[in-house]
Structure 1
Amino acid sequence: MEPRSRRTRSGGDEAPTEEPARRRIEVPTPSVVRARERGKVAAQNPVVLRTEQLTKVYGSVVAANEVSISVHAGSLTGIVGPNGAGKTTTLSMISGLLRPSSGRVTVGNVDVWADGPAAKQLIGTLPDRLRLFDRLTGAQLLYYSGVLHGVAEAEVAARSAELAEAFGLESALDRLVSDYSAGMQKKIALACSMIHAPEVLVLDEPFEAIDPVSAANVTEILEKFVAGGGSVILSSHSLELIQRVCDHVAIIASGSVIAQGTVDAVRDGVSLEERFRALVGEGESKKGLQWLHGSSDSE
């Protein structure tokens, strides 16, 4: 298109004026779309983490009953279930924190319980009920985590700086972890789980206690991790989050896996919450508490 010229009052033409450049509006791809596309690819990738009939028994209580789960390379897999279903028990056995009564866990070709030191180099763990060395500063905790996993000191320093920036903790590194908020403690623990560049992240409630902005940031970090070939298995009570972020899901109830596969396959045309309630049971409406609702039945 030719530049347009404008007539002056004297009848002459002014110099042509360039039209302002049109900016292209970048529309970010929603995480749910990214998850669905990732799921199609990940389902074709090899399995990098496998549990085979994992069982944990406490006396007469079966906390986990022959749990078999497969996590593919490049997958972000969610674990969901009611309170007390066995999610934390399962993740603790996967990460090497809780010895199973029977069954097997492998990461790649490494048996987690036959060769713990080798397995821990491949796994990054965020456990339930954080137990941090909170009398250390954030920087010291990252240093300790890196060196403990055999990362060279110079590399630990570089990785610590990058992780702190990624999680928005740069200004807090010199403070004691005991002075951190619950959300900040969760983020420094996540950073510690990643500092040795593991192949698989095993995360128990990684989004608990963090604000929405931080949650979006953590989601982006995890998506980049799996895009680079890593794998994540995480638990959450938020079915909406699991449906939006994860590409695979396993539903656990009463210690057993009752459904697993891609998120779309498991939810089968309805929301994950609807499918979950249908599988687990919605529960009966409880009677009582009339006094709480201002009932006058006794009158």
Structure 2
Amino acid sequence: MIEIHNVSKSYGGASYAVRDLNLTIPSGQIFGFLGPNGAGKSTTIKMMTGIHAPDRGAIFINGKNIQEEPLAAKKTFGYVPDSPDLFLRLKGMEYLNFMGDMYEVPSKLRLNRIEMLAKQFDLSDVLGDQIQTYSHGMRQKIIMIGVLLHEPDVWILDEPLTGLDPKSAYILKQMMREHADKEKTVFFSTHVLEVAEKLCDRVGIINKGNLQFCGNLQEMRDHFKSDASLEKMFLEMTDHA
């Protein structure tokens, strides 16, 4: 479960990147966070994961305040950043073992999970290569495997499908659905509206730091009194906000 209460963030005292944001994402849901470039999506995610501190407000991950109990909160979630260009000099297996050590995943269990996930994402043959030799999509997949090693209850994914080949994107979407069906939480940002329309239980639309809508697709259609696509309703909300 994710709870965001009256959270605001500005940079250098200028205009707000996020303003008075309130969101509750219960367990058992895939929640899509949508918005144009610069709308506040990544800033929100960085506050959720403790990378940035909010100016005011509070964020709870599975009941743990990310500011007051950062280690306890971080043990409950896995985070995929918007850029996979991390630890490039490490070999794939070195990176995964590093992640396993960080989250205290026992060696035997770790190896079983790495073998299974690497096979799913077609990375088994390159785990001995340096990450800097990987393509963007391969880097995205190795980061995803590292996130899943400790089987976190909450997934926080910033544009996770960017750069993935169709097979890997399909597998990840299946995994997201299966995770939510186990009464766990998936929060992901995306600009691919078709994916959000098909995959998400609920969506939030943010623009210029302000939440424009939160709910399911039918609730959005009721709000607009329209049978339009998510794309059309999204453009109407963000063009005039």
Tell me which interval the TM-score lies in, with the shorter structure as reference length. over 0.9
**In the alignment, what sits opposite 1:252?**
206
* Structure 2: stretches of 5+ with no match in the other structure: none
1:191 pairs with one of 145, 157, 176: 145
**In the alignment, what sits opposite 1:279?**
237
- Rounded to whole Å, the distance in 2 between the matches of 1:50 and 1:230 is 14
1:270 pairs with one of 228, 231, 235: 228
**In the alignment, what sits opposite 1:176?**
130
Amino acid at match of 2:96: L
Matched, 1:68 2:22: yes
- Rounded to whole Å, the distance in 1 between the matches of 2:215 and 2:98 is 37
**In the alignment, what sits opposite 1:56?**
9
Normalising by structure 2, we get a TM-score of: 0.93
Give the deviation of 1:128 after TM superposition: 2.1
Deviation per residue, 1:115-160 (Å, 9 max, x gap):
0000111010011223411111111111111110121222222211
- Rounded to whole Å, the distance in 2 between the matches of 1:98 and 1:184 is 27
- Rounded to whole Å, the distance in 2 between the matches of 1:244 and 1:144 is 35
Tell which structure's C-alpha radius of gyration is larger.
Answer: 1
Give the deviation of 1:282 after TM superposition: 6.8
* Structure 1: stretches of 5+ with no match in the other structure: 1-47, 284-299
Matched, 1:239 2:193: yes
Show the 5 A alignment for 1:1-299: 48-58=1-11, 59-268=13-222, 269-281=227-239
- Rounded to whole Å, the distance in 1 between the matches of 2:235 and 2:124 is 42
**In the alignment, what sits opposite 1:38?**
none
Residues 257-266 or 178-187, more deviating: 257-266
Give the deviation of 1:94 after TM superposition: 0.8
Contact 1:163 1:191 in 2 (8 A): yes
What SS class does the counterpart of residue 69 from structure 1 fall into? strand
- Rounded to whole Å, the distance in 2 between the matches of 1:119 and 1:131 is 24
Number of positions where the alignment pairs a residue of Structure 1 with one of Structure 2: 236
Identical positions, percent:
31
Contact 1:143 1:160 in 2 (8 A): no
What SS class does the counterpart of residue 168 from structure 1 fall into? coil
